[in-house]
């Protein structure tokens, strides 16, 4: 097995051990009835934030436990602007177009392994989406009716350019963690990440990467990486200051989310992380990355 395949296997092994049929879908047509919902309402817009070409013909044999026949295909995490209603998610909701204009072949879509409460915004596309060397995937479009988790928005028509295979993972979104987020049971409670400490934490920020990230040696980030995360916060009198998270949580579940546990109630403004620390399943190192913390909204 190649180093790249070993890395990919490590990334999804935990998720595969706890795969849920409801979290993956092989339907190649949209089976969701038109809900008559808008793309935008109450200041929220249904859009794609990222489509990350993660693996080119490198999904390992264990991928068959996410989606039958997934071994040796491409993997592409796609991130939505809101959590999505998993019951409206089908593989046929997605259209991938290559640089030459050829249509990619969808095989399956899965929410694994990002299935903790508040995380249902990352869908892993599995299929044949083009070749990195001569005709890579260029765009992803939602062509079926796929709704937000609160059933207020329809993502049909949303489109985004694909991040190339050789680019490293960057932060795509950061948001305050809501205690009201519901556990939909899609990970069978076995892919849950580690929690924030029970004491000393005033609030938490979820940092969402374009794809799953680990250290170069395959380990999960730890205390050294916690110190590299920087959060800019605003005090009640309007001053800004930079802090280090009190603790780093949501580890051990091999997904693209980290939770930054903060020991202050000051308003979080942005999250940053330095370059060349974390890798994606293709072994690409992350660039220096910074993202604004989204205002807390409904589900």
CA distance 112 to 123: 8
pLDDT of residue 156: 98
Task: Give CA–CA dist 68/24, Å, rounded.
Answer: 10
Q: What is the pLDDT of residue 17?
A: 44
Residue pair 127/107 in contact (Cβ under 8 Å)? The answer is: yes
Q: What is the pLDDT of residue 207?
A: 98
pLDDT in tens, 129-156: 999 999 999 999 999 999 999 999 999 9
Mean of all residue pLDDT scores within the chain? 91
Mean pLDDT, to the nearest integer, of 21-41? Answer: 94
* Tokens 């991130």, residue located: 79
Angstrom distance (rounded) from CA 132 to CA 155: 27
Hey, what domains does the chain have and what are their CATH numbers?
Answer: 3-161 (2.60.40.1220), 171-294 (no CATH)
Q: Most distant CA pair in the chain: distance in Å?
A: 57
Say if strands 74-80 and 48-51 run parallel, antiparallel, or are unpaired. antiparallel
Is 35 buried (19+), middle (13-18) or exposed (0-12) by CB count in 10 A? middle
- Quick one: pLDDT at residue 193? 80
């Amino acid at each position: 097995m190649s180093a790249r395949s070993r890395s990919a296997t490590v990334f999804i092994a935990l998720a595969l051990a706890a795969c849920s049929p409801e979290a993956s879908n092989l339907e190649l047509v949209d089976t969701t009835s038109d809900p008559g919902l808008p793309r935008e309402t109450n200041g929220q817009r249904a859009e794609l934030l990222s489509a990350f070409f993660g693996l080119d013909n490198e999904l390992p044999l264990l991928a068959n436990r996410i989606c039958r026949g997934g071994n040796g295909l491409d993997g592409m995490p796609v991130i939505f602007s809101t959590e999505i209603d998993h019951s409206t998610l089908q593989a046929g909701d997605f259209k991938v177009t290559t640089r030459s204009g050829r249509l990619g072949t969808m095989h399956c879509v899965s929410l694994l392994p990002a299935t903790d409460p508040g995380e249902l915004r990352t869908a892993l596309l599995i299929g044949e989406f083009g070749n990195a060397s001569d005709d890579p995937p260029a765009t992803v479009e939602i062509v079926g009716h796929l709704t937000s988790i609160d059933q207020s928005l329809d993502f049909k028509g949303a489109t985004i350019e694909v991040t190339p295979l050789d680019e490293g993972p960057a932060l795509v979104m950061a948001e305050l963690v809501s205690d009201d987020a519901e556990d939909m049971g899609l990970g069978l409670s076995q892919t849950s990440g580690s929690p924030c400490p029970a004491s000393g934490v005033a609030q938490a920020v979820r940092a969402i990467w374009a794809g799953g990230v680990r250290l170069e040696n395959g380990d999960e980030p730890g205390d050294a990486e916690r110190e590299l995360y920087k959060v800019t916060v605003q005090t009640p009198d309007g001053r800004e200051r930079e802090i280090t998270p009190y603790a780093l949580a949501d580890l051990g579940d091999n997904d693209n989310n980290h939770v930054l546990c903060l020991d202050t109630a000051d308003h979080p403004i942005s999250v940053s992380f330095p370059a060349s620390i974390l890798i994606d399943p293709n072994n690409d190192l992350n660039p220096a990355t910074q993202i604004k913390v989204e205002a807390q909204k409904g589900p």
